[in-house]
Structure 1
Amino acid sequence: MARCFGVSHNVIAGIAFRNRALFSSKPRARNCRLHESKRAPRKDKTAMRDRKPETIIIPSHKYDLERLPFAKRLLELRPGECIWPINDGSPFLFCAAKTVGKYCQHHQSRAVAVHRIAKREK
């Protein structure tokens, strides 16, 4: 059918999927699934939904306190300024030191160290 219209079979499948009422349904076999005892146990969806993601708390550093008078809010940052948050809210303030990448040299080294610790714990 797809060749007749000059389209791929995925186009035809998409049209059929969106317009199910126009196509007759195919009866399903009753025993098409594995027996419950042979299947892997299902994960409880509510337990997965209620689980909070693991967060890594990075403690403040003396450098962060020194940078606080020069800190900027997110909307005030310009390209080439460090985007490391140096306080814990209301409003969040960022380092704003001159840099080539995302973070200044000090915060880049701290990010790499935290990444190594998190990787080791897994």
Structure 2
Amino acid sequence: MAKFGIVALIGLLFTAGCSVGEPVRISANGMVKWTGGHTEGMHISQTGSSITFANYSNEVGATALVIFARIDSAKNDNCEYFYVETAVKKRLKVCETGEVTLFNRGKVVKVGHMVKSRY
């Protein structure tokens, strides 16, 4: 009986630890189509000062949303730069042409193109 209880407990812990909840839904007013073919919704604030994505990460303790704040002093080449306050090394570059580049620690993570935007 004790063996059954231990096996059942381990099974329950394993199942609970491996389950991934549904990501938060955002009211997307923009979309990015990444070069890998994945399309991702985003919410662009009315002022354009922040861009919010739902976080699909399976990292333990990851927040449900990833919010990029505009770096007002870093605009050049008709592009604007955004950063995540909790992960300063994670940056987003959005250009007037619609090109979007995601950086982590200065390295390009993914590149895409804005396919729908409404401020």
TM range (shorter): under 0.3
TM-score (normalizing by structure 2)? 0.23
Between Structure 1 and Structure 2, the one with more strand by share is 2
The structure having more radius of gyration, on CA atoms, is 1
Determine which structure has greater relative contact order: mean sequence separation of CA pairs < 8 Å that are 6+ residues apart, divided by chain length. Answer: 2
